[in-house]
A and B are shown apart, each in its own frame.
Chain A
Amino acid sequence: MNIQSRKRELFKEFAPRLETTSTVSKIYISFLIAIILVGIYAFYLQMSEGQIVTGMRDNVVWGIYEVNFILLVCISYSGAFISGILHFFHTPWKTAIARIVEIITVLSLLIGPIYILLCMGRLDRLHYLFMYPRIQSPITWDIIAIITDIVACFIYLYLTFIPDFAILRDHCEERDIPKWVKKMYKTLAIGYQDTKTQRDRLHKITRTMSAIIIVLAIVAYTVLAWIFSLTLQPGWNSTIFAPYFIVGGLFSGVAFIIVTMYLVRKFYKLEKYIRKMHFKVGGIILLILAMLYGYFTFTEYFSRWFSHKAIDTDLLDKLFTRYFWEFILANYVGILGPIGILFFKKLRTINWVTIASVIALVGIWINRYLIVIPTLETPYVPIQDTRVDYIFYAASWVEIALSFAGIAAFLLMFTLIGKLVPLVPMNYILDSHLETNKVKQKVNKEISE
């Protein structure tokens, strides 16, 4: 089959989603906007009233904002890492999931850092971070790492989009697509004509960028873990915190990708591309990561319990009393649950793998909560005669609203991107088509000889 006609076919297949918006979609988008608006109101309240409207106080200066930040940034790094691996090693089944992973990477990296800004009491002094940075501070390293990673992920995402923009530009004239969208395709395609030199050049820089984002993801993960582990706080000061964060981040990232794959497959009707095989492979990766993550979690808590330092004992007591059920959910259900499901070959179906991923995601969110909050509630220097609500943390509706607003913003942006570009990269489909043709030609040649 001619490559041009294949491109046209692909465009025809994906164009309807770009042209029209169904009533259900409109309601769904309105609902997301409503949640975001509530979030904006909560943000306005926090800005005008101050941190008093949140549950954060003198002792617990980080709440669920920090938990959301860690989770989203870890998902992003994990997405970058997986995306880089898929591209760098020419993974054959990357076609279906590569773009989903790339979009997840960029969106979570855009939304995640906003949460850390919400933790700041004086946002009006934000520019001080750039004006008076302390190079020896892990916070500064994290800012540098996140900014660099955002730039890298954007560039990488754009590179993978260019051939699709070119296809969309070449064929959008025939369809009823808004003018500004057509103009956008034209601009973003930067005159890409899919010539051999252009293709080779693009492949070369995409491959280099994929290597760079793998390294950047590991560096950024590590720096994020160092924000905690370089302090002397109980539960944070640990030498294995960086690899623990990497494994935990990958675990949450893979779980998030599987859940997104399931939703995209269902609502975008992409069963043809996102198949059972993807869930099966995803399930096996999640199983391996769950075991690794479980091993790290056990080592982390066991060494603290065994060393029996007074402050660590206080923390563990708190985890096994005040946070008993959260601890069970995060570290037993959240880890052993997915392992229990994915261990059995028969249960590696689309639905069960997705259920295991949801359990893993909920578990790791709670685990992040248990990393941040109980430690802050167990300070080295006890503060006497302070109010109970200053020592113990409970999230306020403002924090919950802003957390949901973040999820809504993520879903809205994902939906909007899905309206502008196909969620399955057409150029990857073409690549696999070409590969198949090459193999066929080779076989035919061998038979004729």
Chain B
Amino acid sequence: MKSNLYNHTFFISIIAALLLCTNGIAQQIDLSNYSMRFVFKTVKQADNSRLLEVSFIGFNDADRKDKLPVFGAEIQFLNVLNDEEIILGSSKTSKEGTAQLILLENQKYATDEQGYINLKARFNSTDALSIEEADIMVKDLHLDLNLSEIDSVKTVTLTAFTINSLGDKIPVSDLDVIINLNTMLSKMNINEGTIIDGTYTFEMTESFSGNTKGELTISSIIEENDEYGNIIQEKKVQWGTINKQVKFNDHSLWTKAAPIWMYVLLSILLLGVYINFIYTIVNLVKIKREGDNIKTEPKKNYTVY
């Protein structure tokens, strides 16, 4: 059959062009359909460093599931006191639209009269995106986690305090705290309570196996407190209860030597059979000897019935 492809050159060319130029038909993103969300948070971490984190993501107004993380946006982190802005550092957003800055334990912050640290995150405008700003006010809270056995009872004691300008520890109250046990993939909640007069204590009665060295990592978390923000403190302790390990019965057939019962059984069986073979051969020899003796004697009829 004759091909009629050449009769429709125009359409064939368009189809070929569409097939080859995938970029030409790629959908353009219209940023006006997206609302930008600029979320700023801070976490005081277990090593007393402070994490400043901004999440910069656009959400489609029509479809909230359609997220557009802003990649490569430079975020400035500032410590603000009155009108003065002290630059703490800057960071660019990742593919997930997140920018982070970790301030070490020895970082000095400017605080107001009430002891608040005023932190600000800022994104300066570009052609496509407008300026974004967010700020947080937190007080610097210190958590001291003490894990000790009192009268053979595993006791977790958490002390929460602030330090005033004179360097005195001021206990805090009415703070909700969560005590977690860090496991391999997540944190397991083992206790919850409220810090009163700067202290929270609980007795750990349950037994946990911990890591391979028998260590438990216990963390205390204060989450999104209006005054202090997020604070985490954690410690390792040798409280793991090593359960008697389940000893798997190794398949004795996969070892170098077979189990003894197998040798014994096989030997008995083979001995039984081969002894019988020898017994048979001995009897055959006796039959032969008798036959040989008959040959040497004068011939007579030996068949007696």
Q: Is B268 located at the chain interface by the 8 A CB criterion?
A: no
* Inter-chain contact B290/A151, CB cutoff 8 Å: no
In the complex, how many angstroms separate the beta carbon of B15 from the nearest chain A beta carbon?
34
Contact of B287 among A148, A191, A209, A216 (CB under 8 A): A191
**How many residues on B have C-beta within 8 angstroms of the other chain's C-beta atoms?**
32
Q: Is A193 located at the chain interface by the 8 A CB criterion?
A: yes
In the complex, how many angstroms separate the beta carbon of A178 from the nearest chain B beta carbon?
23
* Inter-chain contact A193/B291, CB cutoff 8 Å: yes
* Inter-chain contact B258/A134, CB cutoff 8 Å: yes
Q: Is A308 located at the chain interface by the 8 A CB criterion?
A: no
Q: Is A197 located at the chain interface by the 8 A CB criterion?
A: yes
| Docked pose: A162 CA to B284 CA in angstroms | 10
Contact of B291 among A144, A159, A191, A216 (CB under 8 A): A191
Interface string of A137-181 (1 = CB under 8 A from B): 000010010001001100100010010000000000000000000
* Inter-chain contact B279/A135, CB cutoff 8 Å: no
Interface string of A304-345 (1 = CB under 8 A from B): 000000000000000000000000000000000000000000
| Docked pose: A367 CA to B189 CA in angstroms | 61
| Docked pose: A201 CA to B258 CA in angstroms | 40
Neighbouring A residues of B295 by C-beta, 8 Å: 191
* Inter-chain contact B302/A135, CB cutoff 8 Å: no
Q: List 15 A-B contacts (CB under 8 A).
A: A4-B303, A151-B277, A152-B273, A190-B287, A191-B290, A191-B291, A191-B294, A192-B287, A193-B291, A195-B302, A195-B304, A201-B286, A205-B284, A209-B276, A216-B273
Neighbouring B residues of A134 by C-beta, 8 Å: 258
| Docked pose: A195 CA to B303 CA in angstroms | 5
| Docked pose: A141 CA to B263 CA in angstroms | 11
| Docked pose: A4 CA to B253 CA in angstroms | 60
Q: Is B262 located at the chain interface by the 8 A CB criterion?
A: yes
* Inter-chain contact A144/B284, CB cutoff 8 Å: no
* Inter-chain contact A191/B269, CB cutoff 8 Å: no
Residues of A387-422 at the interface with B, using a CB-CB cut-off of 8 Å, are none
In the complex, how many angstroms separate the beta carbon of A9 from the nearest chain B beta carbon?
15
Q: Is B283 located at the chain interface by the 8 A CB criterion?
A: yes
In the complex, how many angstroms separate the beta carbon of A142 from the nearest chain B beta carbon?
13
- Nearest 10 CB-CB pairings of A with B: A191-B291, A135-B258, A136-B258, A136-B253, A190-B288, A195-B302, A205-B280, A205-B283, A191-B288, A198-B287
In the complex, how many angstroms separate the beta carbon of B249 from the nearest chain A beta carbon?
15
| Docked pose: A209 CA to B274 CA in angstroms | 11
| Docked pose: A297 CA to B279 CA in angstroms | 41
In the complex, how many angstroms separate the beta carbon of A84 from the nearest chain B beta carbon?
13
Contact of B290 among A136, A195, A209, A212 (CB under 8 A): A195
Q: Is A434 located at the chain interface by the 8 A CB criterion?
A: yes
* Inter-chain contact A144/B266, CB cutoff 8 Å: yes
**Chain A residue at smallest Cβ distance from B254:** A136
**Chain A residue at smallest Cβ distance from B266:** A135
Q: Give chain A's interface residues, CB within 8 Å of chain B.
A: 3-4, 134-136, 141, 144, 148, 151-152, 155, 159, 162, 189-198, 201-202, 204-205, 208-209, 212, 216, 219, 434
Q: Is B87 located at the chain interface by the 8 A CB criterion?
A: no
| Docked pose: A209 CA to B276 CA in angstroms | 8
Q: Is B292 located at the chain interface by the 8 A CB criterion?
A: yes
In the complex, how many angstroms separate the beta carbon of A85 from the nearest chain B beta carbon?
18
| Docked pose: A204 CA to B286 CA in angstroms | 13
* Inter-chain contact A144/B270, CB cutoff 8 Å: yes
In the complex, how many angstroms separate the beta carbon of B269 from the nearest chain A beta carbon?
7
In the complex, how many angstroms separate the beta carbon of A413 from the nearest chain B beta carbon?
23
In the complex, how many angstroms separate the beta carbon of B251 from the nearest chain A beta carbon?
9
Contact of A197 among B280, B281, B290, B292 (CB under 8 A): B290
Contact of A3 among B270, B273, B292, B303 (CB under 8 A): B303
| Docked pose: A135 CA to B270 CA in angstroms | 13
Q: Is B10 located at the chain interface by the 8 A CB criterion?
A: no
Neighbouring A residues of B289 by C-beta, 8 Å: 191
* Inter-chain contact A136/B284, CB cutoff 8 Å: no
A201 with B287: in contact, given A191-B295, A194-B302, A195-B303 (CB under 8 Å)?
Answer: yes
Contact of A148 among B253, B270, B284 (CB under 8 A): B270
Q: Is B6 located at the chain interface by the 8 A CB criterion?
A: no
**Chain B residue at smallest Cβ distance from A133:** B258
| Docked pose: A195 CA to B301 CA in angstroms | 9
| Docked pose: A198 CA to B288 CA in angstroms | 9
A208 with B266: in contact, given A136-B258, A190-B288, A191-B290 (CB under 8 Å)?
Answer: no
Q: Is B305 located at the chain interface by the 8 A CB criterion?
A: yes
Other than A136-B259, A136-B262, A194-B303, give 5 A-B pairs with Cβ distance below 8 A: A135-B262, A190-B287, A193-B290, A193-B294, A202-B287
